[in-house]
Structure 1
Amino acid sequence: MEQAVQKNDVTEKAVAEIIDYGRDRRAWLIFCVSVAHAEQTRSLLVEAGITAESITGRTPKPQRENILADYKAGKITALTSQSVLTTGFDAPHTDLIALLRATKSPGLYVQILGRGLRISPDTEKADPLVLDYGGNVERHGPIDRISTDSIKSGKSSGDAPVKECPECFELMLAGLRTCPACQYEFPAKDKHDSHASNGALLNSQVEPEWLDVDELFYDIHEKFGKPPSLQVTYRCGFETVREWVCFEHGGYARQKAVM
């Protein structure tokens, strides 16, 4: 992850965007991938005129207590951290959370966002702003869809994400880099972005895209060594949308067909 955040000035671009989005926010928590990354992020903030400090596992306890007291008192705008402040830290006035790191743990994801989700009538905080640069929103989905069972099992809730091969239209798990049917190689995507995600953080924010369907076609889709499936083609103006209904398959594909 350290190498990923140093690629193509990702951190510098992300910090510039955080500063832009955070102009009307009072208390920022920024989660980083390493001690060096947390300190680098703090330096970039200070250079831009933002009052910022860094807290990591190496921060001496007396210094940590002083920094946290100043943050809660409003003397510090931004705290950067690595492996701390994710749990057991209560600062309800926190109104901006930035994830400059990725995590596959739904529990850690919920704990991080929880630092900004505390209600705070005393400080008149209306809402928290979450800026995700690690693909976590897309990975785990809306936070209010994550259940305690999914956290205990280490898995996000919801259906298994799938994608379609642009060459042979095979449906496969979203995490695969190579199509198992035609061996198409998907282009690599950086694990860390320089722009915050625009994914839905809450289930109520998920908005479907509606298209008018002009024509509808059904075809049997057969592939050697694979069970047949039903290819459904929707022609929507100049755009064509396809899906496969796989009653003869097993697992997620079968579940989706039944739904």
Structure 2
Amino acid sequence: MDTDELVLAACREIVDLTRDRNAVLIFTSGVDHCKHVAQKIAAFSGRECAVVTGETSPGERAEIIDRFKGKSVPADLFGTPKPPLKFLCNVNVLTTGFDAPNTDCVVLLRPTNSPGLLIQMVGRGTRLSPETGKQNCLVLDYGGNIMRHGPVDMITVTDRTPGNGDAPAKKCPQCLALIHAAYQKCPECGYEFPPPEKSNITEHAAKDGIISGETFYDEYAVKNVYYCVHEKRYADPDAPKTMRIDYEVGINDFRSEWVCPEHTGYARGKFEKWWKNRAAPDCPIPSTAREAVALANDGLLAVPQSITVKSVAGEKFDRITKCVLGERPVMREPGDDSAKINDWPSNSPQDLGVSDYGSEIPF
């Protein structure tokens, strides 16, 4: 988590994204991480970045907080004021009981599995401050917290009741002692467990909406496209099936949509429009999902070049709002289509390594 590469990339972006901000409060994961981040923020911004941890004395902490709030703090006996602080890093200190309404940016350079703690951290920047001209608060999440818990105005914090189960444990590979899972060093023999290889923070802030209803549009180049028949889990065998389209936009990164050739009314009309925009001229509009997949896999649909995806914070599924297509293909001479339709491989999401949404389909 405290690798130099990650810290450098994140701090460089933080300084760049907060050029128009006045009070940036940064939450980090540990004392060493906090000091490392403060050092890099100061180097990139050319401004002091203060540090507050559990080791900071009460007097020093009070002075740092006053400077962060923009209060005058004398630097010498002559009353020369110290400059106000724009950047302030902390470790598990400035969550509750800390009130700085002028905070107009909160940076989450740490993950948390606690929805309550997430609300407390983000809440440090949600106070109104008309006297400072503050209009909003920018939240930069490098720990995947919004993706993990959802928009902060939709989080429900429940009381935890003490459990009766056994504490999580692991076995020391050197002395085979059974110890608590939180130990990084075996208390019996001193064996030091290797740190986890995967970091819990990212180089760039997430784009997830902090407040429900925030809408984002992202454009992706399409590397490949896959078609398959989708059947809802536990559905009646005679229930209408859908055609699922998976757009590959990166390594193991897919965006999906569904169309409904076997439905009636609005859903069928939407499918017919979708098909006519893509299919070769004179290609018949299929009446079943299996027929549509077979024709698509036979090269009778235009190849997608790029897609635009609409994401709304608080909603489970993204939606594809635009698809830029290549040239429509030429209709081939009719052949024995029945064999192709019946024998065509499923090309299922499981075979492609794409997430299976089960019975939940976003239409």
Shared fold (TM-score, shorter chain, > 0.5): yes
Are the aligned partners of 2:7 and 2:40 in contact in 1 as well (CA < 8 Å)?
A: no
When residues 204 and 12 of structure 1 are mapped into structure 2, their CA distance, relative to the original with a 3 A threshold, is: same
Q: Matches of 1:90 and 1:31 in 2, distance apart?
A: 15
Equivalent of 2:14 in 9, 18, 39: 18
1:69, distance to aligned residue in structure 2 (A) = 1.2
Are the aligned partners of 1:30 and 1:81 in contact in 2 as well (CA < 8 Å)?
A: yes
Are the aligned partners of 2:9 and 2:203 in contact in 1 as well (CA < 8 Å)?
A: yes
1:72 aligns with 2:79: no
When residues 63 and 145 of structure 1 are mapped into structure 2, their CA distance, relative to the original with a 3 A threshold, is: same
Which residue number corresponds to residue 175 of structure 1?
none
When residues 208 and 145 of structure 1 are mapped into structure 2, their CA distance, relative to the original with a 3 A threshold, is: farther
Q: Matches of 2:59 and 2:208 in 1, distance apart?
A: 39
Q: How does 1:87-166 map to 2 (within 5 A)?
A: 87-147=96-156, 150-152=157-159
TM-score (norm 2): 0.49
1:70, distance to aligned residue in structure 2 (A) = 1.3
1:191 aligns with 2:200: yes
The one-character-per-residue Cα deviations of 1:169-220 (angstroms, maximum 9, x if unpaired) are: xxxxxxxxxxxxxxxxxxx9742111111111111204588xxxxxx98655
When residues 68 and 58 of structure 1 are mapped into structure 2, their CA distance, relative to the original with a 3 A threshold, is: same
Letter in structure 1 aligned against 2:111? A
When residues 69 and 221 of structure 1 are mapped into structure 2, their CA distance, relative to the original with a 3 A threshold, is: closer
When residues 118 and 61 of structure 1 are mapped into structure 2, their CA distance, relative to the original with a 3 A threshold, is: same
Which residue number corresponds to residue 181 of structure 1?
none
Determine which structure has greater relative contact order: mean sequence separation of CA pairs < 8 Å that are 6+ residues apart, divided by chain length.
1
Q: Matches of 2:233 and 2:210 in 1, distance apart?
A: 38
Letter in structure 1 aligned against 2:104? D
Residue aligned with 1:91, SS: coil
Equivalent of 1:63 in 60, 63, 77: 60
When residues 55 and 220 of structure 1 are mapped into structure 2, their CA distance, relative to the original with a 3 A threshold, is: closer
Q: Matches of 1:94 and 1:141 in 2, distance apart?
A: 22
Letter in structure 2 aligned against 1:45? I
Q: Matches of 1:36 and 1:220 in 2, distance apart?
A: 51
Which residue number corresponds to residue 48 of structure 2?
51
Letter in structure 2 aligned against 1:105? S
Letter in structure 2 aligned against 1:152? D
Q: Matches of 1:19 and 1:67 in 2, distance apart?
A: 20
When residues 253 and 66 of structure 1 are mapped into structure 2, their CA distance, relative to the original with a 3 A threshold, is: same
Residue aligned with 1:24, SS: coil
Unaligned runs of 5+ in 2: 72-83, 162-196, 219-226, 245-257, 260-273, 279-302, 308-319, 321-346, 350-356
Are the aligned partners of 2:229 and 2:242 in contact in 1 as well (CA < 8 Å)?
A: yes
Higher deviation after alignment, 41-50 or 13-22:
41-50
Q: Matches of 1:208 and 1:24 in 2, distance apart?
A: 24
When residues 243 and 102 of structure 1 are mapped into structure 2, their CA distance, relative to the original with a 3 A threshold, is: farther
Unaligned runs of 5+ in 1: 155-187, 210-215, 245-251
1:119, distance to aligned residue in structure 2 (A) = 0.8
Q: Matches of 1:105 and 1:99 in 2, distance apart?
A: 13
When residues 191 and 95 of structure 1 are mapped into structure 2, their CA distance, relative to the original with a 3 A threshold, is: same
Which residue number corresponds to residue 167 of structure 1?
none
Q: Matches of 2:27 and 2:60 in 1, distance apart?
A: 19
1:5, distance to aligned residue in structure 2 (A) = 3.2
Letter in structure 2 aligned against 1:93? N
Calculate the aligned-residue CA RMSD, in Å.
3.6
When residues 222 and 44 of structure 1 are mapped into structure 2, their CA distance, relative to the original with a 3 A threshold, is: closer
1:222, distance to aligned residue in structure 2 (A) = 8.5
Percent of residue pairs bearing the same amino acid type? 34
1:39 aligns with 2:35: yes
1:51, distance to aligned residue in structure 2 (A) = 2.0
Residue aligned with 1:118, SS: coil
Which residue number corresponds to residue 30 of structure 1?
26
